[in-house]
Chains A and B, each alone.
Chain A
C-alpha cells in the first residue's frame, strides 16, 4: 500500500468561482478509482488567479503545482502521475519557485495559500503567535512604540500611521476600549482582506490581540461586509477555535489580559467602509458618517476609545512584533515602509496578489507581474486605490508606489488595488460612473456629497451630448472643488479624483462631437 498523498486545492471563494470544488471532487474520485489515498487540504489561494484552480501535490521535492486545472484535465493529470509530481502540460514545477511568487516579499500574506486556514498546528508551525507571545512580555507602551518604529501605515487607504493611532488610544483614560477591524472591503479591485480572512484568519486574530494588549482593549469586532459570506464563516469558525485554544477569552495565552472578539456582518452599504459610518453601523444605526473631531481613538464605538484598523494593517503587526520594527521598516522607501499587498484586477492577464516592498513602480507591477491585459489589447488606463482613486495613463507608469509620490501626482496608492482597462474603455463613461456611484452610495449626511454627486452625473451627461461643453467643463471642475472642500468624509471628498483624472488625461473622451471614440 502506498502512503497518503497530500493534495492542496484552494477553498478560497475566488478559486471556487472557477470550479475548485468540482476539481476537488474529481481528484478525490479519480484517486479512489486508482486505489490511491489522498488527503485534500482546502487551503487559501496563492493569489495567482489566472492559474486557479491551482492543484498542489506534496512530493519528495516539496509542493509542486498544476494549473489552471479543469475537471476535464483531472484524468490526464492522474494518468501523468499527478500524485507523484509527474510531468504534464499544466505542470508549473515547485510552487515556491514560480517566478511570479518568488519575486514577492510575502510578509502579511506569508501563510495565505500555504497552510490549512483553520489548522492551529499549521499556524504555529509557520510562525503564528510568535509576535503575540513577544508582545505579552512587553509593556503596552513598548508594543505601541515598536509599531510606531516600524513605520506601518494604515492599509485601508488613508495611510495614517498605525502606531500613532494606538498611542492615542493607549493614553485615553476611558474604559472599556475596543479594537474594531474594518473589513468592509467595498472597493472594486480589492480582495486581499477577503483572501486573508478566508485563507489565514488566525493572523488577523493575532494582530487584533496584539493591538488589544498595546492599548488596553478588552473587546473587539470584525466588521465584515455581507458580500463576503465565506470570509464571515471562516472568521467565525477561527474565533470559536481560538476561544477553545485559550487565545481569546479571559486569559489570553494564560496571561492576565482578557479579550473577547466577535464578527459583525454589514448589510450592503459601501459607506460603512468609512470608519465612523462603520462604528454607527456596529452600534445598530444607519451608516451615517460622523463629523471629526472627536476622533474614534478617543470617542469611537459607543463613545469609547477605539482602534479602527484595516485587516491588512492588523495582520501586518504580528510580523512587526515577531521580527522587530527594523526588519519591517527596512522594506520600502521614504515614508512608505514595509510591504504592500498590491492587487492586480480587471482586464489583466495575470491578476492576483503581489505583496512587495513599497517603491515598486506601477509599470513593473503591470508588465512584470500583470503581463498586460487579459484581452491582449494595449492598456489605456489603470485605476489605483478603488472607485475614489485616479485613472492613471500609461505615460505615468513610472510612478513608484509610494503614498507621497502618488499624492503629488494627483493620485493615491490607497489600499493598493489596481484595476486595468484596455483601449476599448470609455473613460468619460468611467468618470460618469464615479459620480453615479457616489450618488448611489452617499450616506446623505452632507450636501456636497449627497447633492453634488447627482449634479455631477447631470453635468457630465450634458457634456456628453455636446451641450455648452466648455462652460459645463468649467462647471464640473467647480463642482469637484466644492465636493473636495466641503464634504464630510472621503466619499464626497475623493469622488472628484477619478473624474478630474479623466478630464486631465483623457479629455478627448469628453468630446463626442468630433469623430469621437464612441457613437
Chain B
C-alpha cells in the first residue's frame, strides 16, 4: 500500500481550472450573483465568481449586479475598472503572467519580459489575435527567492530563463492539442 499524504494537499487543487469558462447567460449570471451576495460588502466576491464562471465580465454584468446589490451602475463600473484582475474582454485560452517587480528585475526580469512580448508578438494586457494567449504583467508573485517568476495557465514557475519560458509554453501547447482544445 502506498498512501500519499494524510490530508489532501490544499495547494494542488487550485492551480488548474477543471472546466473552461461557460458562454454568457443571464440566467447563470443571476444564479451566481445570488449565490455570492450573502455577507457584508459582497461586490468583489460576486465579481470574482462571475469572472470565474464566464472568463471575463461581459457588459450586461454591470446592470445585473447593480440591480441585485442595490448599487449604482457607476459604482459597479468603477470597481470593475479599478482592479486589474477584472477584464471586460474574453481571455486567451492560456493566461501568462510575467512578474515585473524588483526581485525578478535583479535576476533578468527585464530580458524575460522582452522575450515574452516577442514570443507572442503582443504587449502586456493584450491577447493574441488567435485567442490562444493572454499576456499580463504582475507586480510580485511571492516567489522572490526563486526569481524570475511567471505563471502559465495558473501554474507558478520559478527561476525562469527565456529558454525555460519557451519550454513551459511548448509543454502547454502539447497538452492543449492532446485535450483537443
Give every chain B residue within 8 A of A324 (Cβ-Cβ).
none
Alpha-carbon separation in the docked complex, A11 to B6 (Å): 13
Interface pair B142/A185, CB less than 8 Å apart: yes
Q: How far is the CB of B85 from chain A (nearest CB, A)?
A: 4
Residue of A nearest to B141 (CB): A227
Interface size on A, residues (CB 8 A): 84
Residue of A nearest to B15 (CB): A229
Interface string of A1-44 (1 = CB under 8 A from B): 00010000001111011100100100010011000011111100
From known contacts A233-B10, A269-B83, A286-B79, infer whether A18 and B146 are also in contact, taking CB-CB under 8 Å: yes
Counting chain B residues whose Cβ lies within 8 A of the other chain, the interface size class is: 35 or more
Q: Does residue A352 face the partner (Cβ distance < 8 Å to B)?
A: yes
Interface string of B61-100 (1 = CB under 8 A from A): 0000000010000010011001111100000000000000
From known contacts A116-B6, A267-B44, infer whether A14 and B85 are also in contact, taking CB-CB under 8 Å: no
Residue of B nearest to A350 (CB): B145
Interface pair B156/A17, CB less than 8 Å apart: yes
Q: Lowest 7 CB-CB distances: which A-B pairs, in order?
A: A351-B145, A284-B43, A188-B101, A267-B83, A345-B144, A346-B106, A17-B158
Interface string of B141-153 (1 = CB under 8 A from A): 1111111010000
From known contacts A16-B11, A267-B48, A430-B105, infer whether A191 and B144 are also in contact, taking CB-CB under 8 Å: yes
Alpha-carbon separation in the docked complex, A187 to B141 (Å): 9
Q: Does residue B59 face the partner (Cβ distance < 8 Å to A)?
A: no
Q: How far is the CB of B136 from chain A (nearest CB, A)?
A: 9
Stretch at the interface among B18-26, B34-42, B114-122, B126-134: B34-42
Stretch at the interface among A101-109, A152-160, A248-256, A415-423: A415-423
Give every chain B residue within 8 A of A189 (Cβ-Cβ).
101-103, 144
Residue of B nearest to A226 (CB): B85
Give every chain A residue within 8 A of B2 (Cβ-Cβ).
28, 31-32, 37-38
Residue of B nearest to A272 (CB): B83
Interface pair A119/B11, CB less than 8 Å apart: no
Residue of B nearest to A229 (CB): B14
Q: How far is the CB of A30 from chain B (nearest CB, A)?
A: 11
Q: Does residue A441 face the partner (Cβ distance < 8 Å to B)?
A: yes
Counting chain A CB atoms within 10 Å of each CB, which of B43, B85, B104 scores highest? B85
Q: Does residue A94 face the partner (Cβ distance < 8 Å to B)?
A: no
Give every chain A residue within 8 A of B44 (Cβ-Cβ).
264-267, 281-282, 284
A interface majority secondary structure: mixed
Q: Does residue B58 face the partner (Cβ distance < 8 Å to A)?
A: no
Interface pair A234/B11, CB less than 8 Å apart: yes
Alpha-carbon separation in the docked complex, A144 to B15 (Å): 40
Alpha-carbon separation in the docked complex, A393 to B63 (Å): 54
Interface pair B5/A39, CB less than 8 Å apart: yes
Give every chain A residue within 8 A of B159 (Cβ-Cβ).
18
From known contacts A186-B140, A188-B144, A419-B102, infer whether A16 and B156 are also in contact, taking CB-CB under 8 Å: yes
Residue of A nearest to B148 (CB): A346
Q: How far is the CB of A332 from chain B (nearest CB, A)?
A: 24
Alpha-carbon separation in the docked complex, A374 to B6 (Å): 36
Q: How far is the CB of A433 from chain B (nearest CB, A)?
A: 7
Q: Does residue B32 face the partner (Cβ distance < 8 Å to A)?
A: no
Q: How far is the CB of B122 from chain A (nearest CB, A)?
A: 19
Choice from B1, B40, B84 contacting A269 with Cβ under 8 Å: B84
Can you show 19 pairs from A to B with CB atoms below 8 A apart? A17-B156, A18-B159, A39-B4, A40-B3, A40-B4, A119-B6, A187-B140, A188-B139, A191-B145, A228-B142, A238-B10, A266-B83, A284-B79, A302-B40, A343-B144, A387-B102, A419-B103, A419-B144, A422-B106
Give every chain B residue within 8 A of A440 (Cβ-Cβ).
139
Alpha-carbon separation in the docked complex, A281 to B6 (Å): 37
Q: How far is the CB of B147 from chain A (nearest CB, A)?
A: 6
Q: Does residue A86 face the partner (Cβ distance < 8 Å to B)?
A: no
Alpha-carbon separation in the docked complex, A32 to B142 (Å): 34
Q: Does residue B60 face the partner (Cβ distance < 8 Å to A)?
A: no
Interface string of A436-474 (1 = CB under 8 A from B): 010011000000000000000000000000000000000
Q: Does residue B154 face the partner (Cβ distance < 8 Å to A)?
A: yes
Interface pair A13/B144, CB less than 8 Å apart: no
Give every chain B residue within 8 A of A118 (Cβ-Cβ).
7, 10
Interface pair A4/B3, CB less than 8 Å apart: yes
Interface pair B106/A21, CB less than 8 Å apart: no
Q: Does residue A117 face the partner (Cβ distance < 8 Å to B)?
A: yes
Alpha-carbon separation in the docked complex, A18 to B160 (Å): 9
Name A349-369 residues within 8 Å CB distance of B: 351-352
Q: Does residue B107 face the partner (Cβ distance < 8 Å to A)?
A: yes
Give every chain B residue within 8 A of A14 (Cβ-Cβ).
142-143, 145-146, 156, 158
Give every chain B residue within 8 A of A32 (Cβ-Cβ).
2
Interface pair A286/B78, CB less than 8 Å apart: yes
Interface pair B143/A191, CB less than 8 Å apart: yes
Q: Does residue B9 face the partner (Cβ distance < 8 Å to A)?
A: yes
Alpha-carbon separation in the docked complex, A24 to B40 (Å): 41
Choice from B45, B85, B139, B142 contacting A270 with Cβ under 8 Å: B139
Give every chain B residue within 8 A of A262 (Cβ-Cβ).
39
Q: How far is the CB of A48 from chain B (nearest CB, A)?
A: 9
Give every chain A residue within 8 A of B106 (Cβ-Cβ).
346-347, 419-422, 425
Q: How far is the CB of B12 from chain A (nearest CB, A)?
A: 7
Q: Does residue B169 face the partner (Cβ distance < 8 Å to A)?
A: no
Choice from A4, A188, A269 contacting B140 with Cβ under 8 Å: A188
Alpha-carbon separation in the docked complex, A226 to B3 (Å): 32
